[in-house]
A = this chain, B = another copy of it.
Amino acid sequence: MDDAKKKKCKVRFGPSGLEVEVERGTVLLDAAHKVGLYLSSVCGGDGYCGKCKVIIDDGQFQAKPTGLLTADELRDNMVLACQTKVLSDLTVTVPSGHTLETGRILIDSDAHRFREMKGDPNAKGGVGDPNGEGHGAAFAFDPLVRKVYVEMTPPSVQDHTADHERLYMAIRAQIEAPIMQTGYRILQKLSGILLSARYRATATVGHRGGTTEVIEVDAGDHSRRNFAVAVDLGTTTVVAHLVDLTTGRTLDTEATYNSQLNFGDDYVRRIIYAEENDAFDEMQNRIVKDLNNLILALALRQRVHLQEITTVVCAGNTVMIHFLLNLDTRRIRREPYVASAGFVPPIRAAEIGVQISTRGLLYCLPAVAAYVGSDIVGGVLATGMFAQPGISLLADIGTNGEIVLGNRDWLVCASSSAGPAFEGSGVRHGMRAGAGAIEKFTYRGPGCFEYQTIGDRPPAGICGSGLLDLLAELYGGGVVDRTGRFLEDHDPGLMYGQDGWQYQLVPSDNGRREIALTQADIDNLLRSKAGVFAAIRVLMDATQTRREDLEAVYLAGGFGNFLNVQHAVTIGMLPDVPIEKIHFVGNTSMAGAKMTLLSREALQRAEEIAASMTYFDLMSHHGYMEEFIRARFLPHTDLTLFPSVQDKKKVEV
């Protein structure tokens, strides 16, 4: 091997200041990943999405030619990180908005509530609020894994009960556990611990299926130190909450990019990558490492020992759960689109390398199908729609758009694969809800508008809620017509750029790059919203649900904090129901995971939900494509479906 190739180069990434040493010839995207910097990469490093732009401030590099950079960008020494090799020490600037500050990743509030469990000493006023914050169900406080402190009378001539049975009796005096199990290693050490502790010990018991397993026994009372981590395993981000299982309180939250991002922004691309490169182990290793990093960060900050974390509950789309467990994902992307497991039994976290208590348990919420994952089941659980007499609609807009419709008697669901435009993908200046993202936009009239960025930072792009605002306000203001075309002479903000007509929000200036919404962006957004609405129509038609039957519409996803839900109606993404019926519910996947780790009943309910939900495969549904085409208008070809939008337009006109 050539010695020159083996030369080490130092790469410094600004503004974070992160540094990494790599071999000469390393691809810059890989160098960034190595230091924990996750650059957006839709195409998985193939060089055609143009998302991984960085500026080379200093040093030698070799960049492949690309048509994805403007002349201005090339003059600024901007490159695509995935197409650039490191040839010497480098100083690189990552434009703001191209990485995400994890603190901005949408996390759910502790909106869910639990009934006070009768006679439970740990439950402190966790009274249920069935109508609170849009969540229609309350569950008994009864964590999946509990620490039960038991003081047993030691054996005597009058009472020969064996240690193992004595422990069971003591546990059963405190919790309901008709069927119990104990692993061999615990059985073997049990007597030694009980003897040394004078029969005062803490049993850690976990619920597995219909049984209660004694997963650990320790001398003395450790019942106040029992923690769990709830995980929302997203395609783009992984969010973790540390929960105190004795109080039910969330202590801290942490989030990171899914480090599989280097292999593609969407999961189908990652499956292809894993298949082509035999990289399923690598996929698992990465997501497990992400999880461990989150858990470690939470534990260190809250001074919790990893051994005190007894539970991990994961919710996520079916592919992410499969990657986590290294289950077969190959048929998820091929007809007939089948998962390896929808109902994943609890496993020992250590079996996949997740570092919590040695014998701690890892649970996954159940999934409905390959494209309706446990994150959606978590959403149904968290919204409480499964328990309501009236019909509710849940739309979770992320990489895909999953729709659930139903009530306490029935639930139907579907997944719209119309693309993640509202997550910023396929939109030229789209980005996720990170610092500098334009999250709010108001149109005041020709040449006059206002916007707001996350963190009041200089604008870096447009996130989901901003895109929704733009589309709705520009349509309302007459800047785009019902087909989504710019009416070119209507507003001075409209100008002809490299990609044709665009609406300019931020002009290019010294040190500031242009931000605009292009015609192609609008087409992508319309496809996304049309996919969502067509799915809703298919489900409503199939169940003969009328618009006026909808008691509540829940919009979930990572849009940002200032979501104008009315705009989701205006553009024809959600059905036209009174505004007070529409609720933005944020990260319901996380909310569902947290409800579950705090309540055995919630897990049972989640399993019932997943088992009873009817899945509609839209790809093989005869009416879907027609609905999709009709929904690509603003708001729709059939205006009678959107009377309020019509009225508004009339008033304005």
- Chain A positions within 8 Å of B, measured between CB atoms, are 155-157, 159-165, 178-184, 187-188, 190-192, 195, 208-211, 325-328, 331, 335-345, 347-348, 351-352, 367, 369-370, 615, 617, 620
Contacts and interface: CB of A to CB of B under 8 A. Distances in A.
Given A187-B327, A191-B327, A191-B331, A179 B210 contact: yes
A622 to B, nearest CB: 12
A195 B328 CA distance: 11
- Total copies of this chain within the assembly: 2
B191 A160 contact: no
A184 B347 contact: yes
Nearest to A167: B341
A209 B180 contact: yes
Contacts of A367: 162
A331 to B, nearest CB: 7
| Residue of A165, A328, A338, A352 with highest tally of chain B CB at under 10 A | A338
Contacts of A326: 188
Contacts of A369: 160, 162
Given A160-B615, A210-B211, A331-B191, A184 B325 contact: yes
Nearest to A284: B188
Given A336-B157, A347-B184, A163 B211 contact: no
Contact of A164 (B156, B182, B340, B351): B340
Nearest to A208: B181
Contacts of A180: 209
| Residue of A180, A184, A325 with highest tally of chain B CB at under 10 A | A184
B181 A209 contact: yes
28 contacts: A155-B336, A155-B338, A157-B617, A160-B369, A160-B370, A161-B342, A162-B339, A162-B340, A162-B343, A162-B370, A163-B338, A163-B339, A163-B341, A164-B342, A164-B343, A165-B341, A165-B343, A179-B211, A184-B325, A184-B348, A184-B352, A188-B325, A188-B327, A190-B340, A190-B341, A191-B340, A192-B328, A195-B328
A35 to B, nearest CB: 32
A197 B344 CA distance: 22
A162 B321 CA distance: 13
A163 to B, nearest CB: 5
Contacts of A370: 160, 162
A156 B181 CA distance: 38
A333 to B, nearest CB: 13
B157 A620 contact: yes
A334 to B, nearest CB: 11
A222 B245 CA distance: 45
| Residue of A160, A181, A325 with highest tally of chain B CB at under 10 A | A160
A96 B340 CA distance: 63
A467 to B, nearest CB: 32
A156 B617 CA distance: 11
Nearest 8 interchain pairs by C-beta: A164-B341, A191-B328, A179-B210, A162-B339, A155-B338, A162-B342, A191-B340, A184-B347
A121 to B, nearest CB: 28
Contacts of A328: 163, 191-192, 195
B187 A342 contact: no
Nearest to A367: B162
A56 to B, nearest CB: 43
B338 A187 contact: no
Contacts of A340: 162-164, 187, 190-191
A337 B160 CA distance: 7
Contacts of A620: 157
Given A160-B336, A345-B181, A617-B157, A187 B331 contact: no
Contacts of A336: 155-157, 159-160
A75 to B, nearest CB: 52
Contacts of A342: 161-162, 164-165
Given A164-B340, A190-B341, A191-B328, 10 more contacts: A157-B617, A162-B340, A162-B367, A163-B328, A165-B341, A181-B208, A187-B325, A188-B326, A192-B328, A195-B331
A160 B370 CA distance: 8
Contacts of A347: 183-184, 187
